[in-house]
Structure 1
Amino acid sequence: MAQDKRNPSFLHALVGLGVVAIALGLAFGAVSIPSAAGYAGVGPNFLPWLVSGALFLCGGFMLYEARTGGFRHMEEGPPGDQAYWPGFVWMSAGLLANAALLTTIGFIFSCALCFVLAARGMRNAEGQATDGLRTWVQDGVTGLLIAAPVYWMFTKFLAINLPGLTQSGWL
């Protein structure tokens, strides 16, 4: 199957294959999660299996569309329109920092850091100025105001353990 890599249907098929691969990876990980039924008969492996199945269906549909020419009616982007890679790097750095620091600095601060880096990537992609301390502080406070109530909701009301910074359960 030696096709030109600039062929849109070939690239669309690659994206579909990538989604199917991610679904299979999630399914592989879900196998190791215990299936003992919990609240309302749903075990902790229910959601990973549900997401894996949905991704597998979406990836299969994308492959079907790519192979049957279903994306041929897709609108072309403006000439010279390119992906904004620095924004992608900022957002990826946020996700990776969140995963790496979650158990070290706790849920609230790692999620706030993820928000700050992702917001910077989005602001840069839109052409907004991100110079100065004001933007960093504003995004940091916003990230904390989003992450803290989520953490408290999960730990205090739903009794789900999330990594915290202190043993008190409030940070």
Structure 2
Amino acid sequence: MTTSDPSAVWPQTLVGGGVLLTGLALAFGAIGISSEAGYGGVGPNFLPWVVSIGLTICGLLIIWEARSGGFRELDPPSGATQAYWPGFVWVSAGLLLNAALITAIGFILSCTLCYLLAVQGLRRAGGQTAVNAPRTWVTDFLVGLAISAPVFWMFTKFLAINLPGLTSTGWI
């Protein structure tokens, strides 16, 4: 597709406006965060300011692109014409169980479970045939563990941010 559909200009503009407002709201929130420099020379408000500036710039660029003719060279939409609700249920279950179980089974296991269920939902939505194979479940579990464990250790050991663990040692 070489030109944008004129009926898509307003939705594209609204998306840009939403991104812009999110960036501005984050900047407004960052005003109230202390700027005292900590370890490494930056204060706790550094990252919120970086993200808010990035979102604000992206929002402005999206609005400019939408208002100057819309997004060009868009591929036609792919995927099904209707939502795949079973996949939505799998992903939602992963997120809700993560929130419900994080203090009971710890960050690593709850995030691994979230990843496992979300990937299963996405696999099913994509029409993959081997979703019920034990090897797929084990692989997804191990990948989720390989992602969540280093994140947990980085936050708890290097950044000194307390996340719920399974044991009091701080390693699991």
Q: TM-score range by the shorter chain?
A: 0.7 to 0.9
Distance 2:54 2:100 in 1: 27
The residue that corresponds to 1:20 in the other structure is 20
Identity %: 58
The residue that corresponds to 2:48 in the other structure is 48
What code does the residue aligned with 1:62 have?
Answer: I
Distance 1:38 1:83 in 2: 49
Post-superposition shift, 1:95?
A: 4.1
1:142 aligns with 2:136: no
Q: Hey, which bits of structure 1, 4+ residues long, moved more than 6 A?
A: none
Compared with structure 1, are the counterparts of its residues 161 and 140 closer, same or farther at alpha carbon in structure 2 (3 Å cutoff)?
same
Distance 1:106 1:125 in 2: 29
Distance 2:67 2:39 in 1: 42
8 Å contact kept, 2:12–2:70 = no
Distance 2:103 2:31 in 1: 24
Aligned length: 165
Compared with structure 1, are the counterparts of its residues 143 and 56 closer, same or farther at alpha carbon in structure 2 (3 Å cutoff)?
same
8 Å contact kept, 1:106–1:163 = yes
Post-superposition shift, 1:82?
A: 3.3
SS at 2:169 equivalent: coil
Q: 1:124-147 CA deviation, whole Å, 9 max, x = no partner? A: 232113235553343223211221
Post-superposition shift, 1:8?
A: 0.9
Distance 1:46 1:104 in 2: 32
Distance 1:18 1:93 in 2: 27
What code does the residue aligned with 1:147 have?
Answer: S
Post-superposition shift, 1:28?
A: 4.1
Deviates more, 1:110-119 or 1:45-54: 110-119
Compared with structure 1, are the counterparts of its residues 59 and 146 closer, same or farther at alpha carbon in structure 2 (3 Å cutoff)?
same
Q: How does 1:35-114 map to 2 (within 5 A)?
A: 35-77=35-77, 81-82=80-81, 84-86=83-85, 87-88=87-88, 90-99=90-99, 101-114=101-114
SS at 1:163 equivalent: coil
Compared with structure 1, are the counterparts of its residues 72 and 146 closer, same or farther at alpha carbon in structure 2 (3 Å cutoff)?
closer
CA RMSD of aligned residues (A): 2.9
After TM superposition, the score normalised by the length of structure 2 is 0.76
Deviates more, 1:150-159 or 1:122-131: 150-159
Deviates more, 1:39-48 or 1:147-156: 147-156
**Structure 2: gaps (5+ residues):** 1-5
8 Å contact kept, 1:20–1:56 = yes
Distance 1:101 1:32 in 2: 32
Distance 1:29 1:117 in 2: 33
